[in-house]
């Protein structure tokens, strides 16, 4: 049994979900069938109220069973799956007794749709509480009532923002929006649930302007504005789900069963299949981050308070670790502390939680934290001699069992660890910039490592909420190795006379989050040149790249590169003034990226093509709708690869 039902002395029914064969709760067909049978029993003897909760430590309900969705074998099966959830939650919403969803941890997809079908919702006031309708990220729609009930509860603007982005909201935001009736300290959840269910309060509904946005003529206006934003972000229509969500909300009150043709097209699309594949790739990366008995990391010491080192330290403190940050003096550490304070305030919202995170980040110019740290991360200049000199100072002070990690983006670990007394403890932990936004971290196995250091490093990366990708020690590892030929080919197009903005526009139309020329400016043209010389198989660097570097125009960090940079943004020509990109440009630029990815797999840098796809998608933003550079057919060209 997945559900356990008990009745208390007050006549309340407490229904607890604890899926038998999983670490998280999912709404599989058997789970839904059991819930239906439970509602039958409660209809026969109605309780004073019903509280639905989870026995899983991880959270409430993670959503529908992805395996069932992936196994759908036709439109009839797809409609049956949607009808199962829609009808069951309609039934839950119409029971005569009050119902309450008691939410802690994650409440996602079908889990949130179940909660929306309850009269009340309480959320645990915890940092890991997260509510979302992320179906759009799988190329599908929230078809079990989310498109009906969420706009009615919190108003169309906020509801559409959640549904069209898949964005998660925390307990504080859920209460502020009215999605939750209250946020409650964990120790008081049961008592608060009892009080709320017996209160006989009317269920919440959107009021005022948010409520008006659900009605004509305002509903049509909201939909038109949302379609305009979707078109700006996805001009080629690679992702059909957002438009379908809007249509179903506007014309069918969120009932996907009233638009079977639209539903069939969405659920059977290549985009949906590929985004489900990407989800599974993400889960595979997360599996590498499972601790599996490895010692937990409590203290991290970071050497180098520059952009990368300082931001790594700030992220680790945000995720609950004690962090000591070392550089030559406090004046070099101060800018990193300023960025950390802003990050913690932005991510945590709560002033006390942000202050606690900031207090976990300790300036340490003398390096006293080295002796206490479980992991020491070096993030200094990319020079072998400088790193070796630092290791000579660090290694004698490391405690037994501590990992020594380098954030190098390209230097071979076999050279960096050549003088270490215990080279087996050296591991690469390569974060990407910006640290707070990039989910992937390459974890590099050194030549003296039997695999245990890499496994421990992967567990550390998983513990701080990042996706670890195990890679072998090789020039550029995976991500930089595939990016270098892609960016260099784009610069050769500039040598041929194509405008940088036209090249970038063609590749963002293809589905990249940023064009290759803007990416090179962001990385730094000096770094792009050095990486190109290392990874371009002896080919001459593009003339335009050499010219910019010779003039000291290194990109965003100097304010000028291929673009002029102001306030951290590239200044680009107005729409229609950037010129045309050549036909076939997306195929031309991705061809060397794909070829290099195949080479890295063949060389054993990553274990297989699936992990290569995962690394390139989560490390570069490679168009997720394709399923990855090594998956499926050749790249699809945008139908109008121009800025006109």
Q: Tokens 């971290």, residue?
A: 441
Token duo for residue 335: 């800018």
Measured in whole angstroms, how far is the alpha carbon of residue 448 from the centre of its chain? 33
Asked if residue 100 lies in contact with residue 159, where contact means CB atoms within 8 angstroms, the answer is no
**Pick the catalytic residue: 76, 90, 126, 135?**
135
Q: Tokens 């014309």, residue?
A: 251
Asked if residue 487 lies in contact with residue 541, where contact means CB atoms within 8 angstroms, the answer is no
442 given a catalytic annotation: no
**Pick the catalytic residue: 34, 68, 113, 250?**
113
419 given a catalytic annotation: no
Asked if residue 620 lies in contact with residue 483, where contact means CB atoms within 8 angstroms, the answer is yes
* Three-state secondary structure readout of 27-68: ECHHHHHHHHHHHHHHHHCCCCEEEEEECCCCEEECCECHHH
Token duo for residue 282: 């993400």
Contacting residues for 203 by C-beta, under 8 A, at least 6 apart: 119, 120
Token duo for residue 510: 């293809």
Separation CA 589–CA 599 (nearest Å): 17
Asked if residue 48 lies in contact with residue 9, where contact means CB atoms within 8 angstroms, the answer is no
Separation CA 325–CA 332 (nearest Å): 10
Separation CA 150–CA 162 (nearest Å): 9
- Peptide bond preceding 599 in cis form (omega within 30 of 0): no
Using CB atoms within 10 A of its CB, is residue 172 exposed (0-12), middle (13-18) or buried (19+)?
A: middle
Longest CA–CA span in the chain (Å) reads 82
Using CB atoms within 10 A of its CB, is residue 573 exposed (0-12), middle (13-18) or buried (19+)?
A: middle
Asked if residue 456 lies in contact with residue 446, where contact means CB atoms within 8 angstroms, the answer is no
Measured CA to CA in angstroms, residue 552 lies from 108, 306, 560, 562 at distances of 49, 20, 9, 12
The CA dihedral of 568, 572, 575, 578, to the nearest 10 degrees, is: -160
- How many C-beta atoms lie closer than 10 Å to residue 552's C-beta? 10
The one-character DSSP state at 642 is B
Separation CA 607–CA 488 (nearest Å): 26
Q: For 411, what's the count of Cα atoms within 13 Å in the CB-facing half-sphere?
A: 23
Comparing CA positions, the residue from 455, 545, 446 lying closest to residue 494 is: 545
Give the residue numbers annotated as catalytic, written as ranges.
113, 135
């Amino acid at each position: 049994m997945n559900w356990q039902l008990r009745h208390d002395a007050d006549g309340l029914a407490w229904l607890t979900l604890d899926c038998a064969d999983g670490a998280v709760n999912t709404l599989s067909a058997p789970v839904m069938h059991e819930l239906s049978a439970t509602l039958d029993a409660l209809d026969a003897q109605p309780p004073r109220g019903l509280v639905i909760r989870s026995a899983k430590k991880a959270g409430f309900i993670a959503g529908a069973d992805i395996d069932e969705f992936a196994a759908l074998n036709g439109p009839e099966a797809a409609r049956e799956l949607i009808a199962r959830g829609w009808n069951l939650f309609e039934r839950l919403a119409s029971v005569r007794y009050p119902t309450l969803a008691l939410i802690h941890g994650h409440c996602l997809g079908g889990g949130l749709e179940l909660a929306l079908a309850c009269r009340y919702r309480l959320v645990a006031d915890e940092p890991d509480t997260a509510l979302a309708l992320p179906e759009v990220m799988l190329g599908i729609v929230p078809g079990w009532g989310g498109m009906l009930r969420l706009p009615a509860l919190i108003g169309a603007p906020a509801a559409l923002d959640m549904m069209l982005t898949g964005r998660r909201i925390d307990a504080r935001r859920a209460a502020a929006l009215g999605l939750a009736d209250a946020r409650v300290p964990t120790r008081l959840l049961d008592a608060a649930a009892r009080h709320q269910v017996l209160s006989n309060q009317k269920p919440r509904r959107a009021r005022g302007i948010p409520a008006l946005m659900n009605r004509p003529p305002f509903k049509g206006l909201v939909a038109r504005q949302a379609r305009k934003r979707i078109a700006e972000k996805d001009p080629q229509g690679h992702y059909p789900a957002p438009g379908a969500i809007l249509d179903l909300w506007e014309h069918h009150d969120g009932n996907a069963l009233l638009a079977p043709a639209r539903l069939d097209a969405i659920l059977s699309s290549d985009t949906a299949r590929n985004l489900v594949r990407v989800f599974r790739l993400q889960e595979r990366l997360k599996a590498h981050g499972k601790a599996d008995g490895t010692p937990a990391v409590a203290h991290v010491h970071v050497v180098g308070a520059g952009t990368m080192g300082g931001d790594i330290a700030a992220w680790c403190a945000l995720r609950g670790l004690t962090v000591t940050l070392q550089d030559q003096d406090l004046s070099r550490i101060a800018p990193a502390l300023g960025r950390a304070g802003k990050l913690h305030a932005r991510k945590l919202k709560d002033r006390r939680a942000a202050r606690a995170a900031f207090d976990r980040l300790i300036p340490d110019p003398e390096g006293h934290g080295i002796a206490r740290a479980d992991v020491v991360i070096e993030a200094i200049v990319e020079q072998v001699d400088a790193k070796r000199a630092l290791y000579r100072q660090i290694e004698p002070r490391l405690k037994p069992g501590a990992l020594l990690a380098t954030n190098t983006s390209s230097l071979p670990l076999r050279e960096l660890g050549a003088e270490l007394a215990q080279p087996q403890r050296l591991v690469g932990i390569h974060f990407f910039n910006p640290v707070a936004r990039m989910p992937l971290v390459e974890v590099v196995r050194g030549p003296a490592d039997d695999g245990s250091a890499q496994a421990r490093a992967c567990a550390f990366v998983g513990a701080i909420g990042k996706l670890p990708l195990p890679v072998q020690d090789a020039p550029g590892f995976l991500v930089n190795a595939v990016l270098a030929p892609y960016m260099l080919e784009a610069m050769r197009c500039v040598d041929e006379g194509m405008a940088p903005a036209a090249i970038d526009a063609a590749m963002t139309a293809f589905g990249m989050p940023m064009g290759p020329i803007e990416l090179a400016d962001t990385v730094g043209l000096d770094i792009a040149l050095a990486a190109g010389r290392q990874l371009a198989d002896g080919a001459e660097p593009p003339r335009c790249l050499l010219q910019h570097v010779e003039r000291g125009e290194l990109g965003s960090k100097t304010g000028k590169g291929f673009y002029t940079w102001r306030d951290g943004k590239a200044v680009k020509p107005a729409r229609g003034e950037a010129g045309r990109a050549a036909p076939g440009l997306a195929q031309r630029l991705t061809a060397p990226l794909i070829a290099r990815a195949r080479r890295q797999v063949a060389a054993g840098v990553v274990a297989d093509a699936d992990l290569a796809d995962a690394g390139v998608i989560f490390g570069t933003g490679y168009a997720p709708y394709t399923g990855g550079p090594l998956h499926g057919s050749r790249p699809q060209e945008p139908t109008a690869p121009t800025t006109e």
